[in-house]
Structure 1
Amino acid sequence: MTESTPEESPQAASILSEARRRLAAGDTAAVLLELEARAGHEATDALLRDWWLAEARPDRAGPVLERLVGADSAEGWAARSAQALLAGDPGRAVEAARQAIRRDADCAAAYGHLGRALFNAGRMADAERCFAEAVRRDPDSAVARYNQGHLLRAAGRLDAAVAAYGEALARAPGLRAARFHRGITHSLAERPGAALADFQALLEADAADLEARLNAGLARQTLGDLDAAEADYRAVLERAPDHPLAWTYLGILCNEQLRTAEAVEALERALALDPNELDARRELANVFEKANRLDQAEAALAPALPAAAEHPGVVVDAARLKRRRGDAAGALALLDRIDPRGLPERLALEVQFERANALDRAGRYDEALSAVRDANRRAASGARRARIDRAAFPREVAGVRDWLAAGAPGIDSRGADSGAELCFMIGFPRCGTTLLDTILNAAEGLATLDERPTFERARAALEPNGQPYWSRRRPFPAADADAFRAAYRKAVADELGDRPTDRVVDKLPLRVLHAPLLAQAFPAAKFVVSLRHPADVVLSNLMQHYVPNDAYVHFDTLDDTVATYLDVMQLWAAIRPLLEGRLHLVRYEDLVDDPEAEVARACAFLGIDFDPAMLDPATRLAGRERVRTNSYEQVAESIYRRSAGRWRNYRDALMPYRDRLQPVLDEYGYSME
């Protein structure tokens, strides 16, 4: 039993004042040890009680509570309130806290415990008043400020919650719960950099803090540092192999990197450990949907559907699957059930892009354009955008243009490796390269590489100091050129794995910028360029929910998308003459109008046999784990024409750009009449 004597009060007040001073200075461990050594004294036990309750350590709080509850005092009744709350009885906890206040109306902790009990009873406004009273009566209490932060976060007032947690940390920087939950709140507010700083501080204090490690990984993933995020998740799993959230986050990361088999394995492991882990279930359905395995996606999501009313993310997933099945009206009916207010930013973005897709399929084009514009405005303020240099892609385009004007001093084309079996598929995003890629991938003796960073890895051999190759005005030494070719070959071999092939088609549309260098390095390589109606290209890029990179951040508005498209096409006009004799153009409209004839011509150019079975979706996707682009939905269907001329549905928005697009329209025989 805790002792409380009148003569102890001045001494206790002095001890508590000194303890708080040292806690504010960060001397946490030593102070807690000394207070534990004074076990049995009410004032110090009360501080320990509230500290360990805040830290969610019932194992440490329990013995302190047992000592305190024997006293018929405010602190004793506050302890009874805490015990009732731990037992899951908020009603009894409320009454005990009221008894504490009756014993001593000046006891700040009594108001704090009443606030906790009311909070758990769902009486938020009453709880907020109690926490404010606790802070008013004891403004130096770190735990009182922490409790305020918790309530404010639950109420969705994230900035105020962050401030309250910060006030708690100013009074006790060693209060782990305040720092951890401030990091969580920063994450909820879409501030992953600030969140990461809090989790890193916790890891500096305790490298074995698994929850801090897990959430640091999540913050890094949000920031786009995927390798570091994966290292964090695997570090958690090394210590706690049955941690369902760690498996969930690892699965989400693998899915983002299109490592489908690994994603499925991780997510199924998470669900085996916790069948109610909703994020794992959603992501597993997402993996299957992206892999065009719709039956499996629906089966994975089905157990979550009864809870859909409380989980907007489940509704979005269900709506997407309805749209994929051709039920745009059903998809919109589901999406209309979602209240967008208060949604996390990423989920709000997902809802808006899906709404735009469904509205487009339903023929409600003005609404679709409005939805996608709103989605792009949201995307433009996302956390990953802050890490991207918006000037990088225009700088690259201008740099390559200047390099060409200077005579393209690069690689001597007399190297031993001619690249005779190589073909580079280039163009502009959303021009039909993915459809053509999947068709050619079904050809005997040919393998395609779908947007893999082969050239991007190899170019480091030409840029040892980080200076882009196009900034040079003298050819590279033969040794550097050989190193580049060898690095490229290794990157291709790594991507092919054990796939046998006589010819490789390496597809990445915007690698069109670097076609001159590739043509120099591999003088016998071929190039396939995909073309599409400029207005369709602009519209399609505007409407994509892209993972942001240097180029895709310029597709948020029609103005920027048109400008970026024209910059690339003007550069292509300067590049095209350099590829004469090694170049084959494929118009998307011709491909979908007469796929057999167009694919036969492409096969003849590549020197391979055409088989009509290449056009069958099941054949061309057989053995292919995942289409890596936003065109994954379209290529899973039989070839259709609905995307050709789609721009006419948005004529009013696109016609103001006709004059700017006219040179490209004229060059390739298109019209906006």
Structure 2
Amino acid sequence: MQPRLAEAVTAFQQGRLDRARELANLELKQNPDSAKTHHLLGLIECRAGRLTEGAEWLRRAVDAEPANVAFRVMLVRALIDSGKVDQALSVAAPPSGIDQSTLPLWHARAEAADSAGRREVAASAWRCVCALQPSDWRVWINLGRDLLALNRLDEAEEAYSRAVSLAPRNPDVIRQLGLVFERANKNAQLGELLDNAIASGVPRERLADILAVRELRSGRRSEAGKLLSAADPKEDPVRWHRLAARIADDQGDATQAFAAASAMNQALAHRDSWVARAAEYRSNLSRSTQSITPQWAETLPQFPSETRPLAFIVGFPRSGTTLLDTFLMGHPDIVVLEEKGLIAAAADEVGPPESLDSADPNALRHARENYLARLDDLTGRASCLVIDKAPLNMLHAPVIHLFFGGAPIMFVRRHPCDTVLSCFMQSFTPNLSTANFLDVRDAADFYDLTMRFWEACRSVLPLNVHTISYEELVADPERQLRAAVDFLNLPWDDRLLDHRQTAADRGPVANTSYEQIVQPLNASAVGRWRRYETQLEPVLPLLLEWASRLGYPT
């Protein structure tokens, strides 16, 4: 290193940023292509809070020495800190294979992917880190977290179990594995894990929140509340407040439950960014709805009917789609694909609804073929009826019509007030859709826009729709299910009614309904919103208007 540059580095390490910048600029005049000087200037500007300028200097260093892992890592961190997570992810692609020299970059790639909400990419990167640091329980925890977010519960359990084997008395590690057991409805394994941890000397107070989960699952609400109050909410504020909301709701305390749910949503990491992105998503949805006109519908291309049996379940989140698909899984001639994102991926390929009338036919054909190929991969080209279930596929109704005109679509409806309240009080992995549930006004606005889009599509497209009421499905499942299988042109089968056995046999559930579907049917969630009328007052006019339009008494 040149003497002047070495002096600049020393000044930077001592916090004398102005002197470090002055020396680095002098060095740059003499050696304008010095990657080390560019890198140092980037560090100086980032330390000074000028992240954009710092990232530009760091990028010059990476461009000069693309194989320099340290340079890449610092650029990735600067881009993450400046909110440019997609750019960070592209920079964090290791230039070579998986070896110890690239370990810091795999770390950075995983962190960038987590910041961007790219869970698949993050999980893949953390697997590489785990391969290079197999004895570090922290990286197994990071891998487990992303796998859990992807609803790959068996893999998440494996990762967390590995972490527990490395840190058997660490309360945080035990808690994470316990949450996987709870999420997978493995109550016996949860109890065994906690009992063994306490027997090995882990203080009960350090496991208070996960012990509270066990008590709540056992119906001991009061004891759950006492345990939770002993836990530190700062350790995981989202989880703590979500559990507090559940306990208060079970105890009938609407004021406390709603306050806890509000705190849960406020505590989400990067909340403001997600709220802004959700607002933009709603704006785009509103614009798409305006394009759904008879003239637009007349110009849409049409594909030949699909020969294999295919149907869809749609509905706003928390409307009862999971309960319906669990019932239908009991039929031997039905295979349900639960929230695999197949239609959403096809919609991403072909573009927004307003552009479908002018889309390239080859691009449309390619997207349809990709959908069917993925369908075959997941079902083994099953000869029975395949039901593609994803609630917000109702926003992809034009693509369903375009690719599979006339395919049966089961639309599940629930009272709008119960639906929006349930969305607000759930803790979702954030994405452009679920980020709308962080504020109850945003949730109601999203419901309104989604239903407007759905009704616009139904008014101009010949969709083959059968509507199922959540409330009626709970009250008289046989009547609703007989109508459903008749709509699907299938024979009746008594196994349809044993939803609890089907739920036990189906394995992990890929959404927030995992706990409810293994319970006996009850109407406790019907009309729950009436206990929250005060809290819902700002959005009641909008939601009750929809309730009236959907046929609910108001």
Displacement after TM superposition at 1:209 (Å) = 6.3
Which residue pairs with 2:10 in the alignment? 24
C-alpha root-mean-square deviation of aligned residues, in Å?
A: 4.2
Counterparts of 1:475 and 1:192 in 2: how far apart (Å)? 33
* Kept in 2: contact 1:220–1:228 (CA 8 A): yes
Secondary structure at 2:293 match in 1: helix
Secondary structure at 1:336 match in 2: helix
Alignment of 1:610-649 (within 5 A): 610-649=492-531
Counterparts of 1:652 and 1:621 in 2: how far apart (Å)? 35
Q: What is the TM-score normalised by the length of structure 2? A: 0.79
Alignment of 1:94-113 (within 5 A): none
Q: Residue 489 of structure 1: which of 369, 372, 375 is its match? A: 372
* Residue 504 to residue 626, structure 1, CA distance change in 2 (3 Å): same
Q: What is the TM-score normalised by the length of structure 1? A: 0.66
Displacement after TM superposition at 1:369 (Å) = 1.0
1:327 aligns with 2:220: yes
Which residue pairs with 1:522 in the alignment? 404
Secondary structure at 2:261 match in 1: helix
Counterparts of 1:235 and 1:366 in 2: how far apart (Å)? 46
Displacement after TM superposition at 1:370 (Å) = 1.3
Structure 2 letter corresponding to 1:21 = E
* Residue 537 to residue 387, structure 1, CA distance change in 2 (3 Å): closer
Secondary structure at 1:407 match in 2: helix
Q: Which runs of 5+ in 1 are unaligned?
A: 1-16, 27-50, 52-133, 141-161
Counterparts of 1:493 and 1:250 in 2: how far apart (Å)? 29
Alignment of 1:39-78 (within 5 A): none
Which residue pairs with 2:441 in the alignment? 559
Which residue pairs with 1:512 in the alignment? 394
1:576 aligns with 2:458: yes
Displacement after TM superposition at 1:405 (Å) = 5.0
Secondary structure at 1:491 match in 2: helix
Structure 2 letter corresponding to 1:471 = S
Displacement after TM superposition at 1:321 (Å) = 2.3
Displacement after TM superposition at 1:525 (Å) = 0.8
> Structure 1 residues 255-264 or 354-363, which shifts more?
255-264
1:365 aligns with 2:254: yes
Counterparts of 1:386 and 1:600 in 2: how far apart (Å)? 41
Deviations 1:577-619 (A, max 9, x none): 4566722111011000111221122112112233333333442
Deviations 1:273-300 (A, max 9, x none): 3323544432222222111111112223
Structure 1 letter corresponding to 2:132 = R
Structure 2 letter corresponding to 1:484 = A
Secondary structure at 2:387 match in 1: strand
1:442 aligns with 2:337: no
Alignment of 1:114-513 (within 5 A): 208=101, 210=103, 213-214=106-107, 217-218=110-111, 220-305=113-198, 307-308=202-203, 311=206, 314-340=207-233, 343=234, 347-379=236-268, 381-382=270-271, 385=274, 388=277, 390-408=279-297, 411-417=300-306, 421-461=309-349, 463=350, 467-474=351-358, 477=361, 479-497=362-380, 500-513=382-395
Q: Residue 605 of structure 1: which of 487, 500, 510 is its match? A: 487
* Residue 380 to residue 22, structure 1, CA distance change in 2 (3 Å): closer
* Kept in 2: contact 1:532–1:588 (CA 8 A): yes
State which structure, 1 or 2, has the greater radius of gyration over its C-alpha atoms. 1
Structure 2 letter corresponding to 1:595 = P
Q: Which runs of 5+ in 2 are unaligned?
A: 21-42, 49-53, 59-68
Displacement after TM superposition at 1:212 (Å) = 6.8
Displacement after TM superposition at 1:364 (Å) = 1.1
Counterparts of 2:415 and 2:444 in 1: how far apart (Å)? 13
Displacement after TM superposition at 1:414 (Å) = 4.8
* Kept in 2: contact 1:192–1:219 (CA 8 A): no
Displacement after TM superposition at 1:349 (Å) = 1.8
Which residue pairs with 1:666 in the alignment? 548
* Residue 661 to residue 241, structure 1, CA distance change in 2 (3 Å): closer
Secondary structure at 2:344 match in 1: helix
* Residue 389 to residue 583, structure 1, CA distance change in 2 (3 Å): closer
* Residue 192 to residue 482, structure 1, CA distance change in 2 (3 Å): closer
Structure 2 letter corresponding to 1:332 = G
Displacement after TM superposition at 1:485 (Å) = 2.4
* Residue 501 to residue 301, structure 1, CA distance change in 2 (3 Å): farther
* Residue 287 to residue 364, structure 1, CA distance change in 2 (3 Å): same
Secondary structure at 1:275 match in 2: coil
Q: Give identity over the alignment, percent.
A: 28
Counterparts of 2:216 and 2:473 in 1: how far apart (Å)? 25
Counterparts of 2:243 and 2:305 in 1: how far apart (Å)? 50
* Kept in 2: contact 1:244–1:277 (CA 8 A): no
Counterparts of 1:581 and 1:216 in 2: how far apart (Å)? 43
Paired residues in the alignment total: 507
Deviations 1:330-382 (A, max 9, x none): 11111111344xx25xx112111111111001111111111112222233843
Deviations 1:29-57 (A, max 9, x none): xxxxxxxxxxxxxxxxxxxxxx9xxxxxx
* Kept in 2: contact 1:385–1:553 (CA 8 A): yes
Counterparts of 2:108 and 2:396 in 1: how far apart (Å)? 39
* Residue 23 to residue 628, structure 1, CA distance change in 2 (3 Å): same
Instruction: Select the structure with the greater relative contact order (CA < 8 A; seq sep ≥ 6).
Output: 2
1:654 aligns with 2:536: yes
* Kept in 2: contact 1:450–1:506 (CA 8 A): yes
* Kept in 1: contact 2:282–2:446 (CA 8 A): no
